[in-house]
Structure 1
Amino acid sequence: MIREQATDKRTSKTVRHEADLIVVGGGLSGVCCAITAARAGIQVLLVQDRPVLGGNSSSEVRLWVLGATSHMGNNNRWAREGGVIDELLLENLYRNPEGNPLIFDTILLEKVVLEPNIKLLLNTAVYEVEKSDADTISGLKAFCSQNSTQYELVAPLFCDASGDGLVGFQAGAAFRMGAESREEFGEKFAPTAEYGELLGHSLYFYTKNTGRPVRFVPPAYALDDITKIPRYKRFNAQEYGCQLWWIEYGGRLDTVHDTEAIKWELWKVVYGVWNYIKNSGQFPEAETMTLEWVGQIPGKRESRRFEGDYMLTQQDVVEQRTHADAVAFGGWSIDLHPADGIFSEKPGCNQWHSKGMYQIPFRCLYSRNITNLFLAGRIISASHVAFGSSRVMATGAHVGQAVGMAAALCTQNGLRPRDLTEPAQIQNLQQELLKTGQHIPGLSLRDPDDLAQNASLSASSEFSLNELPPDGPLQPLTHSAAQMLPLPAGIIPQMTAIVTADQATTLTVDLRRSSKPLNHTPDVTLETLTIPLVKGKQTIDLPFTSRMDEPGYVFVMFMKNEHVQLQYSQLRVTGVLSVFNKINPAVSNYGKQEPTDDIGVDTFEFWCPERRPAGQNIALTIKGGIRLFGAENSRNGSQRPTSQPNAWVAAADDPNPTLTLSWPNKQRISRVELRFDTDFDHPLETVIMIHPETVSPFCVDEYELCSDSQERIFHQTNNYLSNRTIRFEQPIETTSLTIHLKSKRSFGEGAFTPASLMEIRCYA
């Protein structure tokens, strides 16, 4: 029993926590920052003002996670973000292909609480920043309403991943809110008045079919006139959740301090929309449907953006400018919305893509005037236009990982964020990030401590792409189709394809490449073949005469012809992909991007893959074959296809694919790092979209490691992750290490992929 005498005043229970890094904000950027820093060996406090993690991806908001892959609707191939965010998305695919947002909550919570170096405070809101001097944060004060506890949080380093930049704002960090003029950075896409200065909030709803009639009586505050929404005819009974991302409002308000007012307006809209669907009589299929869930907090797009030592601009995105301090990448379109949101006559978004991924420099990830404050998520140093691309969650998570590693290096070396921009320091940061699976376009891992670099390498077989056998379906050329093939520098090999024509006709075949070796936009035509066809099935020669000046991908493009069917193959191979010139309106892909005005973006075509089980490769024979799948790829420092496949791929008929590293003297090995192909082209959306698989079919699901005595020292089954770290309790002493890839996955009846390995690294 507790009994206290009456008193004038009491104070809340106060608890003090100290750490090396305090991360404020438990969205994906904060989560990935905290996990990365903790795994790098420093103590982390993760402070989240909500009961769950994930921010806009959580069950409280339910937005799908997207980044550079853009729903597979742009030309960014193999562009899914790596590292921790990749791990989270693959775990969600494995456990939750149905896209249940509650399950994604549990995955995020599990990953955080399993890290011994993370202390997690949920339902805890930071309300005050303390400073030791004008440029330095010394601590934070926070309060948890659920346990009536006040916290004093102290650390030498802080990361603001709060979305609205609460810590940076109170600390006095320089920030911006709203759109820059065209003149400030020379951005030709700087918004006009109708597109306003801020992106608004969105609030979603879920529906359920009960199997029996359900009535709906709207609340008194529901929007009573659906025609106030100019696009109201777009509503239907099938779409729900973030498929209705354009239920947006607040672009003309203060998106920090007016959030509650914006939420109420969105509630009015949501209940008015459902009333329209249920009670207008235009949707009889909705008779048995009920409103299952409505968001209680809106998903925020934009508020404050803080100033670092560099500000990302439209030109960085479109021109894909390179930066010596690149630590992450983006690839979502420049995606700006009308200021009036759902009440606008304008389309719900205005998306303009670049031809490939762009680098994000480290100088954007810390405050220019608060010396110990990192920035992560949507608040990084970017103009309003560039923010239209960098704001999306997977990009923010990738940035958060860079900050987490940077904080670890600062802690270990007694540095402040800006100190890491010194060339040797930034190179160290980049290499440490690459070791974790973080992809940085244009950079490769060069690790002198990796014992694999000094080993002799041998493989049981190496795949040669001589043929994509004609064992797949015949598909009509109602859309142009292309086969992407990696090639070395030199003459293009001769090829043949198989087609069926329903009448005599002419088929046009283009051979194209990208103007930049790391891009996959086919914007350079090497040659065009015009091939006469007779009626019936036939093999056609593709007598290319062009040369490749440098290694890269070519596109063998069969232009659409309604009288022709193209033969496809069941064989799928790491780094080999078919793409199609189709339409994906969800990301403003209408086959070709053609800005009507000079807004500083490029005109080009979209050639995108189809989702499995579709998207088979085009059946081809290739004279002399393509031999770019050798064992040396497993230690070339690239962990995904880029301008080349970058994978060791075993021969399709190899019954026991093995890769052996040998040394002249015994090595003490305590850790092995493996990287597998989990199809970085797939975006792995977390909600709404139901995935037909729980594991990428490219990923080897069973493997074992053996020493020089052929003794099994490690065995893994049911593998589904890109990155695997094997730690031995006692170091293994051996003159060789052999990895056996024991199984390969099927794509379905008669379809399979040869076993592949992206990378192997060994450490003493």
Structure 2
Amino acid sequence: MIRSESIEKRSCPLVTLEAGLIVTGGGLSGICCAVTAAREGLKVVLVQDRSVLGGNASSEVRLWVLGATSHMGNNNRWAREGGVIDEILVENTYRNPEGNPVILDTILLDKVVAEPNITLLLNTAVYHVEKKDKDTIASLRAFCSQNQTTYELKAPLFCDASGDGVVGFLAGAAFRMGAEPMEEFNELFAPPESYGELLGHSLYFYSKDTGKPVRFIPPSFALKDITEIPRFRSFNAQDYGCKLWWIEYGGRMDTVHDTEKIKWELWKIVYGVWDYIKNSGNFPEAETLTLEWVGMIPGKRESRRFEGDYILKQQDVIEQRIHDDAVAFGGWSLDLHPSDGVYSTQPGCTQWHSKGIYQIPYRCLYSRNISNLFLAGRIISVSHVAFGSSRVMATSAYVAQAVGMAAVLCAKLGCQPSALYTEGHMPELQQWLLRSGQFIPGIASVEENDLVQSATISASSELALSVLEEDMLMPLDLAAAQMIPVAAGPIPAFSLHAYSDEPTVLQGEIRLSSRRGSYTPDKTIATFEYKIQPGRNWIQVNPGVTVNESQYVFIMLQKNPLISINRSARRITGILSVFNTINPAVSNYGKQEAPDGIGIDNFEFWVPQRRPAGHNIALRFDKPLQAFGADNIRNGLARPTTQPNAWVADLNDPAPALTLSWDATKQVKKLILSFDTDFDHPMESVLMSHPENVMVFCVRDYAIFDDEGRKVYEKQGNYQTRNIIEFHEAVNTTSLTIRFTHPSANTPAAVFEIRVYENN
């Protein structure tokens, strides 16, 4: 028994924690930053003011995680983010293909608690910053409401991934709120004058069919007249969760300090909407539905944006400008919303896409006036217009991985964040990121201590693609294009069969992308036209054109529902079909036609179809496509770019294998293998289900043998992109042979990258 009585006031316990990096904010950005740094040996304290991790992705908000892939609705091929955020999305798709947000919570917790270098503080809010001098943070004070403990958090480096930038704000870091005027950065999509309105918050609900009639009595604060919402006719009994992203409010308020007021207005709207669905009589199908869940905290879009040594602008996004300090990429559209949100008479969003992914420079990821403060997540240094793209969660998390690695390099060098750029350490940071699974557009990995670079590589087979076999007949009811990788020189001739019940014309084109490395087929270099007779027609096309550089070529067939063509069941790494179709969810209506004078490109959308659809076009080539050689595993690119960048075995090879040989014995301690988990699939984390829980291209089973044929490692049931193998005792050998199993009868084994090290 404890009894205590005192006339003196009491204080809560004070606990001091010291680390190499303090990360504030346990959303995806904070998680990816902390995990990246911890894996490199840095001690990290991760401070989260909620009871679960994940921020807007968590079960408290339930927004799906998206980034450059944009629901497969843009022209950004193979653009899903890599590294830790890729691990999370792949893991979630494997464990949770149904998109249950509660399961995602457990996956995020697993990812953090698996790292012994991370100290996790949940339900702990930072409220005070102590400074060493005017531009240096010394420590933070945070309070946990659950254990009534105050924490003093000390470190040489701090990362603000809190969404609203609480550390940066308290520390005095320079920030902005609202839109810059057009003239400040010459952004043509920016308003003529600066204004303070922002993107608002959203709050969602889930419904459930109980199988029996359920009545609903609304709370007193529910919106009484749903027609106050201009888009009230958009509400229906089927949509729930983040499909209701446009239930948005608060853009004309202070989206930090007025958040509670905004939340109450959103509750008023949500319960009013449900009252309308249940009790208006307009939705008889809702009779057995009950309101299963309503968000307790709103999902935030925009508040403070902090200033770094560079501010990312509209032109960086649209023109895909090159930066010598690129550490990440983005690819979501410039997605801005009306400030009045759900009460606006304007569309819920204005989305303008770029022709490809764009680089994000390191100079955007630290404060320009607080010397030891990194920025991560949606608060990085960008203009309001560029923020419309960079703010989405997968992009934010990807940027945060670069921050985590930068903190490790700062600790190694004993320097502040800005010094990595000003003192010329960008190449080292970029290479560290590439080694960890990050992809940086335009930069290849070069690692001298990777033994694969000096190895002789031999393969049991290499795919020479001469035919995509005919397996099924489908009408040409959409314009379709087959993307094929070609080397510099003549584009190979090809043939296909076309079928029709009546005379018609098949029209086609050979297209390239005007920006090499992007996938918008906006440059026609040849056309062809064939008269189609009733029945089966054999079409032979000799493009008669050449390309100067290796790249993807689009063999495009115009829409003609009178014609059917064969599709192939073959699924091959680096081979993809795309279609000129629409995806209204991301403002893709087949073609982007922007108003004059806003600095946005006009172009067509050519996008894949989600499996089980999206089959390749059945084609025969007069010369096999030779883009799948074993040497690709050491070219420093672990995803398709201008070429597949993968070794792909021949599908008829009964025992596909790679052998790495050296002139002298090596003491192998570590291997990294990178497999194809389909970087084109967006892997939305909640609400949307997925056709499979393991990507069809991914090698499931493999084994590694030394020079005497002894099995030194075996993996069965793999589903992850990167496999890191560390031997307790070094394997002394002059060669390693890795034997793979084809993923399926229609998909050959493929490997993007292998790295081998003599020490960990």
Give TM-score scaled by structure 2 length. Answer: 0.99
SS at match of 1:527: strand
Q: CA contact under 8 A between 1:593 and 1:606: conserved in structure 2?
A: yes
Q: Which amino acid aligns with 1:408?
A: V
Aligned 8 A contact 1:202 1:298 in 2: yes
For 1:194 and 1:290, locate their aligned partners in 2 and report how far apart those are by CA, in whole Å.
44
SS of structure 2 residue aligned to 1:264 = helix
Rounded to whole Å, the distance in 2 between the matches of 1:752 and 1:212 is 46
Report if the CA contact (8 A) 2:160-2:376 is conserved.
yes
Report the more deviating stretch, 475-484 or 360-369.
Answer: 475-484
Listed as ranges, the matches of 1:596-615 within 5 Å are 596-615=595-614
Structure 1 match to 2:501 = 502
Structure 2 residue identity aligned to 1:520? Y
Q: State the shift of 1:546 in Å.
A: 1.0
Summarize the alignment of residues 234-273 of structure 1 with structure 2, pairs less than 5 Å apart: 234-273=234-273
SS across alignment from 2:499: strand
Contact 1:69–1:681 at 8 Å: present in 2 too?
Answer: yes
Residue number in structure 1 paired with 2:173:
173
Paired with 1:287 and 1:456, the residues of 2 have a C-alpha distance of: 69
Residue in structure 2 matched with residue 566 of structure 1 by the alignment = 565
Q: 1:194 to 1:96 in 2, by over 3 A?
A: farther
Instruction: Report the equivalent of 1:379.
Output: 379
Alpha-carbon distance change, 286 to 192 in structure 1, aligned in 2, over 3 angstroms: farther
SS in 1 for 2:2: coil
Q: Deviations over 1:61-90 (max 9, x none)?
A: 000000000000000000000000000000
Q: What is the RMSD computed on CA atoms of the aligned residues?
A: 1.0
Rounded Cα–Cα distance in structure 1 between residues aligned with 2:13 and 2:423: 46
Q: Deviations over 1:540-574 (max 9, x none)?
A: 01120111111100100000012111210011100
User: For residue 467 of structure 1, what is the aligned residue in structure 2?
Assistant: 467
Per-residue CA deviation, residues 103-153 of structure 1 (Å, 9 max, x unaligned), is: 000000011011000000000000000000000000000000000000000
740, 748, 753: which one aligns with 1:754:
748
Could you tell me how far apart the structure 2 residues matched to 1:422 and 1:177 are?
28
1:183-222 to structure 2, matched below 5 A, reads 183-191=183-191, 197-222=197-222
Give the conservation status (yes or no) of the 8 Å contact 1:26–1:55: yes
CA distances 1:639-679 after superposition (whole Å, capped 9, x unpaired): 00011000000001011100000001101110001000000
After superposition, where does 1:444-523 map in structure 2 within 5 Å?
444-471=444-471, 473-523=472-522
CA contact (8 A) 1:195 1:336 kept: no
| Partner amino acid, structure 1, of 2:82 | G
CA offset digits 1:448-492 (Å, max 9, x no partner): 010010000000000011000011x21111110000001001001
Q: Alpha-carbon deviation of 1:423?
A: 6.3
**Distance in 1 between residues matched to 2:138 and 2:543, nearest whole Å:** 66
User: In the alignment, is the contact (CA less than 8 A) between 1:198 and 1:303 conserved in 2?
Assistant: yes
Amino acid at match of 1:563: L
Q: What SS does the corresponding residue of 2:517 show, helix, strand or coil?
A: coil
Letter in 2 for 1:441: P
Residue of structure 1 equivalent to 2:324: 324
C-alpha separation in 1, matches of 2:270 and 2:169: 32
Q: 2:67 corresponds to which residue?
A: 67
* 1:120 is aligned to 2:130: no
**Distance in 2 between the 1:278 and 1:477 partners?**
43
Aligned equivalents of 2:689 and 2:594: distance in 1? 33
Alignment-derived partner of residue 534 in structure 1: 533
User: Matched residues in 1 for 2:331 and 2:348: separation?
Assistant: 20
CA contact (8 A) 1:191 1:197 kept: no
Q: Secondary structure at the match of 2:540?
A: strand
**Whole-Å separation in 1 of the counterparts to 2:196 and 2:586:** 21
8 A contact 1:173–1:367 mirrored in 2: yes
Shift of residue 196, structure 1, vs aligned partner: 6.8
Q: Is the 8 A contact 1:195 1:337 kept in 2?
A: no
How many angstroms does 1:412 deviate by?
A: 1.4
Alignment partner of 1:392 is 2:392: yes
Q: Runs ≥4 in structure 1, deviation > 2 angstroms?
A: 1-5, 191-197, 743-746
1:534, 1:4 → 2: CA distance? 97
**Residue aligned with 2:589, SS:** coil
Find the aligned partners of 1:490 and 1:673 in 2 and give their Cα distance.
Answer: 34
Given residue 627 of structure 1, which amino acid in structure 2 is its aligned partner?
Q
Matches of 2:227 and 2:5, distance apart in 1? 62
SS in 2 for 1:651: coil
Please state how far the C-alpha of 1:744 moved relative to its aligned partner: 2.5
Please state how far the C-alpha of 1:536 moved relative to its aligned partner. Answer: 1.1
Aligned to 1:106: 106
- Distance in 2 between the 1:453 and 1:258 partners? 56
The answer on 1:229 being equivalent to 2:229 is yes
Matched with 2:154 is 154
Partners of 1:29 and 1:573 in 2: how far apart? Answer: 33
Paired residues of 2:651 and 2:742 also in contact (CA < 8 A): no
Percent identity, aligned pairs only, is: 64
- CA drift at 1:424: 4.0
Cα separation, 1, equivalents of 2:393 and 2:710: 44
8 Å contact 1:673–1:723 — kept in the other structure? Answer: yes
- C-alpha displacement at 1:235, in angstroms? 1.0
Contact 1:195/1:339, CA 8 A, preserved across alignment: no
Secondary structure at 1:71 match in 2: helix
Output the CA distance in 1 between the equivalents of 2:422 and 2:107.
37
What corresponds to 1:337 in structure 2?
337
2:612 and 2:348 map into 1 onto residues whose CA distance is: 31
Q: Is residue 2:746 matched to residue 1:745?
A: no
**TM-score under structure 1 normalisation?**
0.98
1:629 alignment partner, SS class: coil
What runs of 5+ residues in structure 2 fail to find an aligned partner?
Answer: none
Residue range with higher mean Cα deviation, 280-289 or 202-211: 280-289
Residue type of the alignment partner of 1:693: E
Q: Does the aligned pair in 1 maintain the 2:197–2:253 contact within 8 Å?
A: no
Q: Given residue 261 of structure 1, which amino acid in structure 2 is its aligned partner? A: K
Offset from partner CA, 1:404-457 (integer Å, 9 cap, x none)? 000011111201101110464110000000001101000110000100100000
Deviation, 1:537, is 1.6
CA–CA distance in structure 2, aligned partners of residues 757 and 8 of structure 1: 68
Change in CA separation of 1:575 and 1:423 when aligned onto 2, cut-off 3 Å: farther
Q: Deviations over 1:574-600 (max 9, x none)?
A: 000000000100000000000123210
Query: In 1, are the aligned partners of 2:658 and 2:738 still within 8 Å (CA)?
Result: yes
Structure 1 unpaired stretches of 5+: none
Distance 1:519 1:491 in 2: 21
- Relative to structure 1, the CA distance from residue 7 to residue 196 in structure 2 (aligned partners, 3 Å threshold; closer, same or farther) is closer
Amino acid at match of 1:344: S
**Match runs of 1:44-59 below 5 Å:** 44-59=44-59
**1:132-147 aligned within 5 A:** 132-147=132-147
8 Å Cα contact 2:182/2:192 also seen in 1: no
Q: Distance in 1 between the 2:474 and 2:373 partners?
A: 55
Name which of structure 1's ranges 501-510 and 69-78 shifts more when overlaid on structure 2.
501-510
Secondary structure at the counterpart of residue 714 of structure 1 = strand
Q: Any conservation in 1 of the 2:181–2:192 contact (CA below 8 Å)?
A: no
* Post-superposition offset of 1:250: 0.6
Which residue in the other structure is 2:690 paired with? Answer: 691
1:683-720 deviation digits (Å, cap 9, x = unpaired)? 00011111121110100001111000010000001101
Aligned residue number for residue 720 of structure 1:
719
**1:194/1:338 contact within 8 Å kept:** no
Question: Displacement of 1:282 after TM fit?
Answer: 1.1
Counterpart code for 1:720: Y
**Segment of structure 1 superposing worse, 585-594 or 537-546:** 537-546
Is the CA contact (8 Å cut-off) linking 1:236 and 1:283 kept in structure 2?
Answer: yes
Q: State the shift of 1:193 in Å.
A: 8.5
SS at structure 2 position matched to 1:628: coil
